[in-house]
Structure 1
Amino acid sequence: MPLASDVLFGDRRAVRSCGGVISGKFPDAPNAGADRAGGADLHIHSTASDGSLSPAGIMEEARRQGLTHIAITDHDTLEGVRQARQAGIPDGLCLISGVEISTQPPPGIPASGSLHILGYGIPPDHPEVNTALARSQDARRDRNPEIIRRLNAAGIRIRLSDAARFAGSGPVSRPHIARALMDAGIVSSIEDAFQRWLKKGRPAYVDKYRIPCAAAVDLIRRAGGVAVLAHPGLLLRGGGMTIDTVCDILAPLKIGGIEVYYPEHGARQTRLFFAAARARGLLATGGTDFHGDIKPGVRMGSARGKFQVPGGTAAALLARLYAIEHSTESSTPGENPL
């Protein structure tokens, strides 16, 4: 089983407040109200993928925003968690290990592109997980030259090095290419770049390998983590499906939660998603999907000002991780039996 120190990071006081200690396993079940005094944001991206703030910068911003519990959930990599651990967690902050995996949707879910699965509580140095994620990272990297070639063929003179300037030390991805297009005066915003050039069906879109959804969920569970369906409201935008249908399709995969609280979910959607999670015994998680300058106006913890992850959400996630760690139902080391 992963130790609390493998998936929870922070000073002894902060980690105790969310149910763990800095070394060794969770000593007691986490307090359900542990994150009520502060705030939580369980969906944050750093420069390890397509965010504009470094992991250290994210932690400092979390402190400024009064957050006590955060999860860095970079696309297809745990590098942001590793960098945060190396930088040192500020006093009063609890960091939960996380990742957002771009998966191939299972049969029955007609998603355009990837179905995103959040994985929480995965040890950032887990060999099997990192091997699988490396293939997805390679796919992201390998499609970039073709995106640039297609833009050049359309008469847009930008180079991959132009996008790399915005990626810093992290991998180049489509948002960085979008920023290069903005810098060249080709588009007015990142959203404009995607709508005109980079999203599926547009002239410079290039598809990539995605790990099958079932394999991703299984990978997270075998690493002792919890798999959560990310931002279902975005998935259901096209109509024709309901959250209950999606949950029924994902049920055999043993998904562990739904990202109920998300800035682009309306009040009615949030109620429906919460009801679907509650009816199935799934976690209701939430976060802003913070990317820094990549998503202007979306602040960590509060999005555009009125959003808030309800108190107790992070503690519920930690309680589930605690239950996985202490379960005696599994005969396979590290496997999630729940």
Structure 2
Amino acid sequence: MSHTVDLHLHTTASDGRLTPAQLVALVAARGLRVIAVTDHDTTGGLPAAKEAACAYPRLTLIPGVELSTDVPGGEVHVLGYFVDRDNPELESFLARMRDSRVDRGRRMVEKLAALGMPVPWERVLELAKGGSVGRPHIAQTMVEQGHVISIQEAFNKYIGRNGPAYAERDKLTPVDAVRFLARTRALPVLAHPGEISDLDTVLPELKKAGLVGLEVYYNGYTPEQMDGLAKAAAAYDLLPCGGSDYHALGYEGESEPGTAGPPGEVAERLLAMAPAGVKGRR
């Protein structure tokens, strides 16, 4: 099923493979009407994405970001929509988060070397192209070095959360992330909540902190999962958002833009909530 709204997309500004301009051209060619670019810990791809979107009058682009947070036994991501790149507090915070990504990446490369799988750090940085360093960059380098045959294998065997080369990085709690985004006038939305086992425990506190939405529609979720998440969103008066989480990594079964997303009326409600001065490009 194809959707015209996709509120979770990545570019080369973080760990995606398409440049912002390439991503915008792709989603426009596929008939999408509302998208959000949500790179990890950076807004660096937004200017190029906005410029590219000007060539497609029917496309609305929401400026976003995705923050990683820690909970006991796992990781939770929080999306921020309508982020303001002119906000110095936001940009300073994101810079610190990116620095922690570099530190984590170096430690993972050191662990891989200790396992007999040397990975050139310079190549990891080259793949990141000046953007946020992520595990997909390390995984791709592992493929190039012949240590694994695919990015999926790198994650499954070595650099996934329980892998021998995994390393933690500085993160904040989900509540802190939601509060921070709300304080900087962005709209916080909880990403891929199907991975959270105690959602009913988490949501009340996040709602109190300023959460406005829940990622109900997500690639790979079953109809039953989405139905349950939709009910949770309604129970806590949260906007039922969603998207493909597209990275263009090229592995088998990867989500594509438009394979998951909310109804158009949800996008209209989200656009209506945008803070003054930080509207989507329309």
State TM-score, norm by structure 2.
0.90
Instruction: Letter of the 2:17 partner, please give it.
Output: S
Tell me the distance in 1 between the aligned counterparts of 2:87 and 2:267: 22
Please state if 1:53 is matched with 2:18: yes
Please state if 1:314 is matched with 2:267: yes
Shift of 1:253: 1.5
Aligned length: 274
Q: Which moved more, 1:286-295 or 1:95-104?
A: 286-295
Retained in 2: the 8 A contact 1:286–1:313?
A: no
Please state if 1:164 is matched with 2:129: no
Shift of 1:218: 1.6
Alignment match, 1:293: 249
Q: Which runs of 5+ in 2 are unaligned?
A: none
State TM-score, norm by structure 1.
0.76
Tell me the distance in 1 between the aligned counterparts of 2:187 and 2:22: 26
Tell me the distance in 2 between the aligned counterparts of 1:146 and 1:77: 21
Q: Which runs of 5+ in 1 are unaligned?
A: 1-37, 327-333
What is the aligned counterpart of 1:73 among 38, 55, 58?
38
Instruction: Letter of the 2:16 partner, please give it.
Output: G
Retained in 1: the 8 A contact 2:44–2:131?
A: no
Shift of 1:294: 5.4
Alignment match, 2:65: 99
What is the aligned counterpart of 1:132 among 61, 77, 93?
93
Shift of 1:220: 1.3
C-alpha distance after superposition, 1:258-315 (max 9, x if no partner):
000001221111111111111221111010000012555321112xxxx453232211
Shift of 1:210: 0.6
Tell me the distance in 1 between the aligned counterparts of 2:63 and 2:119: 36
Tell me the distance in 2 between the aligned counterparts of 1:86 and 1:311: 23
Alignment match, 1:26: none
What is the alpha-carbon root mean square deviation over aligned residues? Answer: 2.1
Within a 5 Å distance, the mapping from 1:116-131 to structure 2 comes to 116-131=77-92
User: CA separation of 1:295/1:79 partners in 2, compared to 1, >3 Å: closer, same or farther?
Assistant: farther
Secondary structure, aligned partner of 1:260: strand
Tell me the distance in 2 between the aligned counterparts of 1:134 and 1:184: 30
Shift of 1:138: 0.3
Retained in 2: the 8 A contact 1:111–1:235?
A: no
Tell me the distance in 2 between the aligned counterparts of 1:212 and 1:122: 19
